[in-house]
Structures are given as structure tokens and as C-alpha cells.
Structure 1
Amino acid sequence: MGKDVTAVSEEVVRLDVREDLKAGREPFHKIMAAVQALREGQRLLLVAPFEPKPLYKVLGRMGFDHTTRQTEDGAWEVLFFRQG
């Protein structure tokens, strides 16, 4: 796993894309790779500097739902999980 992808627990994989965006790098392919690498029962915790609304539809078509919260430091944490 890359330095910004962390297994928080066996069930949650954390991907922080704030540094990518700060450096001007588009993180979409990194996010999709993390989603594709999820094992049965795992969820993806995405950390971003803004609410990644376009991903909701993209991952929704792949069978994922999400919960979203904004942290005290202004970051957004989105937990993506498979529906059903």
C-alpha cells in the first residue's frame, strides 16, 4: 500500500488524498484502485479537503453507498461500503 493508504482496521482501508490534491495531482485513479482492491466486507474511508460529491454517483453505480462527515479541521471523511 502507498503511504497515503492505510489499513485502519481489517475492515476499513483509509485513503487520504489531500496531499495529492495539494500537489495538483488528480487522485481519481488512486481512489478507483483502492476501491478495486477492497476485499469482501472491507470499506474505504476517503479523506479529502472537500466533499467528493461526483464520486457518490460513480461508486453508487458500482454498488457502494456512503456516509459523510466533515471533521473539525475542515477535511471530509467519506466511508464507502457495499450496499446489501
Structure 2
Amino acid sequence: MSTIDDDSDPATEVLDVRKHEGPPFPLIEEALEELPPGGSLTLVNSFEPEPLYDVLDDRGFSYRTERVDEGEWRVHIEHA
């Protein structure tokens, strides 16, 4: 899992897929599968990953999205 500098909760995993070559969904899928109940993940992407929202809803994850900057979106995901 790629990481970036992040001052949020140190228990939160950070997955930065901005420089990943190829589709990022397999990396995101793997990170979600490994996320334990009560765990959290911050996904960093260069665009708003709207198709991911249905996947998160279907799997019972809660999330909030923020646009940090042009070209940087963060989706904060929590596993219930």
C-alpha cells in the first residue's frame, strides 16, 4: 500500500493511487478486503472516484469525500 504524509489518525491506512500505472480499482479492492472491522482507510486519487461509492454502499462501508486541491481527492472510508 502506498502512503503519503498525512496528519490524521495514525491508525488510518492511506492508499495513494495517483501515480499507480493501470486501473486503481484492484488496489482499492485489496485494501478494502484487508480493512478490519472498525478500521479506516483514506484513499487519495486525482479525480472523484464516483463509481466506488456504489461498491462502498453495497459492502456497508461509510465514507466521506473531500476535494483537497485541483487534482487531489480524498475519500475517508470506515469499516463498520
With the length of structure 2 as denominator, give the TM-score of the two structures: 0.83
Q: How many correspondences in the alignment? A: 76
Distance (Å, rounded) in 1 between the aligned partners of 2:71 and 2:58 = 28
| CA RMSD of superposed structures (Å) | 1.7
5+ long unaligned stretches in structure 2: none
Aligned to 1:74: 71
Moved over 2 A (4+): none
| Structure-to-structure mapping, 1:2-81, within 5 angstroms | 2=1, 4-5=2-3, 9-10=10-11, 12-20=12-20, 23=21, 25-81=22-78
5+ long unaligned stretches in structure 1: none
With the length of structure 1 as denominator, give the TM-score of the two structures: 0.79
Identity among equivalent positions (%) equals 36
Give CA-to-partner distance per residue, 1:12-52, whole Å, 9 cap, x none: 110000001xx3x1011110100111122111100000000
